[in-house]
Amino acid sequence: MCGIVGYTGMQQAAPILLEGLKRLEYRGYDSAGIAIMDDGSISVQKVSGRISKLCELTEDGKTCPGNVGIGHTRWATHGAPTDINAHPHMSNDGRFAVVHNGIIENYLALREELIGKGYHFESETDTEVVVNLLEMYYTGDLKNAVMRVSSRLQGSYALGVVCSDAPDEIVAIRESSPLIIGIGAGENYFASDIAALVPYTRNVVYMEDGEFAQITPDAIRIYDLFGNPVSKKVQKVNWDVQTAEKGGYEHFMLKEIIEQPRAVEATLRPRIRGSEIVLDAEGLDGEFLRKIRRIMITACGSAYYAGCAGRYAIEALCRIPVSTELASEFRYGDPMVDSETLVIVLSQSGETADTIAAVKESKAKGAPVLAMVNVVGSTVAKLADFTLYTWAGPEIAVATTKGYTTQLALLYLFALYAAKETGRVDDKRYRHLLRALRSLPKRIQEAVDLNPMLDRYAEDYRNTRSIFFIGRNSDYAMAMEGALKMKEISYIHAEAYAAGELKHGTIALIEEHQPVIALCCNTIVQEKTMNNIIEVKARGADVLALAEKNNSEIISVADRMMYLPEVEPVFAGVVEIVPLQLLAYYTAKCRKCDIDKPKNLAKSVTVE
How many C-beta neighbours within 10 Å does residue 493 have?
Answer: 13
Q: How many helices (H) and strands (E) does the chain have?
A: 21, 26
Directed axis angle between helix 440-449 and helix 427-438, to 10°? Answer: 50
Closer residue to ligand AGP (CB): 347 or 532 = 347
For 176, left (φ over 0), alpha (ψ -120 to 50), or beta? left
* Closest CB 476 distance from ligand AGP, rounded Å: 18
* Closest CB 171 distance from ligand AGP, rounded Å: 27
Closer residue to ligand AGP (CB): 397 or 546 = 397
For 319, left (φ over 0), alpha (ψ -120 to 50), or beta? left
Pair 90, 79: CB distance under 8 Å:
no
Closer residue to ligand AGP (CB): 349 or 490 = 349
* Closest CB 347 distance from ligand AGP, rounded Å: 3
* Closest CB 375 distance from ligand AGP, rounded Å: 8
DSSP 229: B
Closer residue to ligand AGP (CB): 191 or 300 = 300
SS3 sequence of 123-189 = CCCCHHHHHHHHHHHCCCCHHHHHHHHHHHCCEEEEEEEEECCCCCCEEEEEECCCCEEEECCCCEE
Pair 581, 397: CB distance under 8 Å:
no
485 carries an active-site annotation: no
Burial 393-418 (b: 16+ CB within 10 A, else e): bbbbbbbbbbbbbbbbbbbbbbbbbb
Closer residue to ligand AGP (CB): 302 or 529 = 302
Closer residue to ligand AGP (CB): 66 or 482 = 482
Considering 22, 255, 402, 603, which one is annotated as catalytic? 603
* Closest CB 543 distance from ligand AGP, rounded Å: 25
Four-residue CA torsion sign, 124, 125, 126, 130: negative
Cα separation of 433 and 419, whole Å? Answer: 11
Cα separation of 476 and 431, whole Å? Answer: 28
Pair 196, 32: CB distance under 8 Å:
no
318 carries an active-site annotation: no
* Closest CB 586 distance from ligand AGP, rounded Å: 16
Considering 2, 163, 318, 520, which one is annotated as catalytic? 2
Tell me the C-alpha to C-alpha distance, in Å, between residue 196 and each of 16, 22, 192, 392, 603.
Answer: 9, 8, 8, 18, 15
Please give the residue whose beta carbon sits closest to ligand AGP in the complex. Answer: 301
Closer residue to ligand AGP (CB): 179 or 434 = 179
The footprint of ligand AGP (CB under 6 A) covers 300-303, 347-349, 352, 355, 398-400, 403, 488, 601, 604-605
* Closest CB 399 distance from ligand AGP, rounded Å: 4
Cβ neighbours for 392, distance < 8 A, ≥ 6 positions apart = 263, 266, 267, 348, 374, 402, 403, 406
Active site residues: 2, 603
